[in-house]
Amino acid sequence: MSIFNSLHINASGLSLERLKLDTISTNIANVNTTRTEEGGPYLKKEVQFEENFKQVKSSFTENIERKSFGVKTTAIVENNTGLTTEYNPTHPDADEEGYLQLSNVNMADEMIEMIMTQRTYDANVTAMNASKEMLKKALEIKTN
């Protein structure tokens, strides 16, 4: 086990939270988008992730073990649930009956997700700083 594992784990968390913030920003920017290149309204995007495992050789037992090594992004998916329609026959994207399909991005939900993501990012920064301080203190240890 490397002394830098905690820094790698925190760095993976920081990268994930940065991607989540970017995705939330894109969702907020497109809250009123009714027409995309694919056709239809903008669909909310969500980041999917999972724990990242590595195969390492144990220094005690010499066995190969599976150890956690932070998180990794698996996909950014579109959520197509919660689409709503409204009657607006004057809108250029309305169908022949006058109904307009709206994006499924909910501003309140996005703001809550953004606050949670920012707090998780801050927690990762705090943990990384604690790891750096421990490594600094370890370097200061003098043997007699």
At residue 39, the pLDDT reads 87
For residue 144, give both structure tokens: 């007699």
Long-range contacts formed by 4-8: CB under 8 A, 24+ apart: 4/135, 5/69, 6/127, 6/128, 6/131, 7/128, 7/131, 7/132, 7/135, 8/69, 8/70
At residue 65, the pLDDT reads 80
Of 99, 135, 136, 113, whose CA–CA distance to 23 is shortest? 113
Q: Does residue 64 carry a pLDDT above 80?
A: yes
CA–CA gap between residue 99 and residue 113 (Å, rounded) = 30
Phi, psi of 142 (to 5 degrees): -110, 140
The single-letter code of the amino acid at 8 is: H
- Confidence at 142, pLDDT banded by 50, 70, 90: low
pLDDT digits (tens, 9 = 90+) for 19-53: 999 999 999 999 999 999 988 899 999 999 999 98
Q: To which H or E segment does residue 64 belong?
A: strand 64-79
Domains held by the chain: number: 1
- Cβ-Cβ contacts under 8 Å for 61 (sequence gap 6 or more): none
Domain extent, residue 65, equals: 5-140
